Amino acid sequence: MTGRTPRVVIVGGGFGGLAAAKALRRAPVNIILIDRSNHHVFQPLLYQVATSVLAPGQIASPIRGLLADQENTSVMLGNVTGIDSASRHVIADADEKKGLRIEYDYLVLATGATHSYFGHDEFAPFAPVLKSLADAELLRNHILKAFENAEIEDDPERRQALMTFVLVGAGPTGVEMASAIAFMVQTTLRKNFRRIDPRSARIILVDMGKRPLGTFAESLSEAAKQRLLKLGVEVRLEKPVHSIDAECALVGDERIPSKTVIWTAGVAPSPAGKWLDCDVDRAGRVRVRNDLTIHHHPEIFVVGDTATLDQGGRRLPGVAQVAIQQGQYAGKSIIRQITRKPPLPPFRYFDKGDLAVVGKGFAVLQSGPIKMSGYVAWLVWALVHIQFLAESSLRISVFFQWVRTYFSGHRGDRLIIEKHGNG
């Protein structure tokens, strides 16, 4: 740092990484943002790609495009495999180059999290997760094909298994997926088949806990549950999942024949904790100090779902808002260090509130003392989510697709995209 421009490496182009990059846009630094995807995904709407409402391109933007005008930043498509914190290098594989070493003066790790099978990794082939655009496209293909197969199935039991959808995990993603599938079978698909009635599909939401949306107030969990039941979703609470295979899920002592199980439970953070060989919590999240750095490394920031930090005795939740605020904080902290100004006060999360949608025209909302459920909460949900899309053109196209889906049941992207052999 003697004379040359300090280099900031940001790993991850999600909410946290992008916020850090933008906070540094006028700083006298060279930034390299590394991500294994070429796009930033608006994860809260992934379930709408999986259920054919939105196209992948409506919730994703090329990271290069988002940062094209930020001249101090370059973007690299690469898969980080390790960190050498002694010599300050990130180690990454690109498509054709392995073991690239990228030097940093400051490092921001914003690599996110995925779902965890709680030690049952054997479920993975039969119960995919929903974390990337590729996941969402695979699930979309799978759900649409289940109805295609049901249409030509003569055996009534197999037909019902094809039309049975099990969601494991009743957090926001599970609740949103379950109600989105319910909405799809009752509207879009209704007139499209001749032999099956898509409305006879079973949608089963399973959780180990006592209530859906466990991070919300109890009254909102109850409202969400009632709404799910009204939509025809079967809710199984306090039930462990013992086994999942290609034909069925064993939930508590109930055997559910199903060709589609979707895993929306648990949190498995990225391997950043292993790269750093540092203090992690039970789920593997990096324990950061209240300035978001790790012990002995004031130059390494860990933000978003990759990190864990308590505030007021409670762990900060794994939501986009936390990642964004932490990314911004990390960026600003780096500017302070470079300009030799006094450090920022400890990071404090400002909780604007939490939202989850339960099908068409219904959401639950809590923000400070406000707790509400129903149509108004859903309007707030829709506005907030459109607002946070990364590009204005996406806001417009998502808005019009939602209006159309709301009134006509039309889905924007009901495509099974697969490679066929020739002939």
Residue 93 CB, shortest distance to its own copies, in Å, is: 11
Q: Answer yes or no whether residue 383 interacts with its own copies by CB under 8 A.
A: no
| 131 vs 227, beta carbon nearer its own copies | 131
| 36 vs 289, beta carbon nearer its own copies | 36
**Helix or strand run (H / E) with residue 80:** strand 79-84
Residue 342 CB, shortest distance to its own copies, in Å, is: 33
Q: Give bridge partners of residue 257 from the DSSP assignment.
A: 248
HSE of 421, CA atoms in CB hemisphere, 13 A: 1
Q: What are phi and psi of 100, to 5 degrees?
A: -65, 140
Give the one residue of 186, 226, 321, 397 binding its own copies; rule: CB under 8 A: 397
The one catalytic residue among 137, 148, 157, 176: 176
Residue 336 CB, shortest distance to its own copies, in Å, is: 26
Q: Answer yes or no whether residue 217 interacts with its own copies by CB under 8 A.
A: no
Query: Quick one: which of 278, 239, 244 has its CA closest to 263?
Result: 244
Q: For residue 188, what are the CA distances in angstroms to 127, 130, 178, 320, 407?
A: 25, 22, 15, 30, 11
Distance between terminal CA atoms of the chain? 61
Q: Answer yes or no whether residue 215 interacts with its own copies by CB under 8 A.
A: no
Residue 282: how many other CB atoms lie within 10 Å: 6
CA 133 to chain centre: 10
Give the one residue of 10, 55, 143, 382 binding its own copies; rule: CB under 8 A: 55
Q: Answer yes or no whether residue 207 interacts with its own copies by CB under 8 A.
A: no
Give the one residue of 7, 89, 145, 211 binding its own copies; rule: CB under 8 A: 145
Q: CA-based angle 271:274:276, to the nearest 5?
A: 110
Give the C-alpha separation, 331 to 327, whole Å: 6
Q: Answer yes or no whether residue 60 interacts with its own copies by CB under 8 A.
A: yes
Q: Answer yes or no whether residue 403 interacts with its own copies by CB under 8 A.
A: no
Q: Answer yes or no whether residue 202 interacts with its own copies by CB under 8 A.
A: no
Give the one residue of 114, 186, 215, 321 binding its own copies; rule: CB under 8 A: 114
Cβ atoms of residues 59 and 394 within 8 Å: yes
Do the strands 60-62 and 73-77 form a parallel or antiparallel pair, or are they unpaired? unpaired
Q: Answer yes or no whether residue 205 interacts with its own copies by CB under 8 A.
A: no
Query: Quick one: which of 307, 305, 273 has its CA closest to 288?
Result: 307
Q: Give the binding range for its own copies (CB under 8 A) out of 135-143, 250-258, 314-322, 332-340.
A: 135-143
Q: Answer yes or no whether residue 404 interacts with its own copies by CB under 8 A.
A: yes
Query: Quick one: which of 83, 113, 44 has its CA closest to 304?
Result: 113
Query: Quick one: which of 8, 134, 19, 4 has its CA closest to 67?
Result: 19
CA 373 to chain centre: 23
Q: Answer yes or no whether residue 195 interacts with its own copies by CB under 8 A.
A: yes
Site for its own copies in 244-283 (CB under 8 A): 268, 270-271
SS in 3 state form for 200-239?
HCEEEEECCCCCCCCCCCHHHHHHHHHHHHHCCEEEECCC
Site for its own copies in 79-108 (CB under 8 A): 79, 94-97, 100
Residue 137 CB, shortest distance to its own copies, in Å, is: 6
Residue 265 CB, shortest distance to its own copies, in Å, is: 15
| 63 vs 356, beta carbon nearer its own copies | 63
- 3-state SS class at 307: strand
Give the one residue of 7, 22, 25, 64 binding its own copies; rule: CB under 8 A: 64
Residue 364 CB, shortest distance to its own copies, in Å, is: 30
Q: Give the binding range for its own copies (CB under 8 A) out of 63-71, 237-245, 302-310, 344-352.
A: 63-71
DSSP state letter for 24: T
Give the one residue of 8, 23, 29, 144 binding its own copies; rule: CB under 8 A: 144
Q: Answer yes or no whether residue 38 interacts with its own copies by CB under 8 A.
A: yes
Give the one residue of 4, 296, 314, 420 binding its own copies; rule: CB under 8 A: 420
Query: Quick one: which of 151, 134, 136 has its CA closest to 51?
Result: 136
Residue 176 annotated to the active site? yes
**Residues classed as catalytic:** 176
What residues make contact with its own copies under the rule CB under 8 A?
Answer: 36-39, 55-58, 60, 62, 64-65, 68-69, 74-79, 94-97, 100, 114, 132-135, 137-138, 144-145, 148-149, 151-153, 191-195, 268, 270-271, 393, 397, 404, 410, 412-420, 422-423
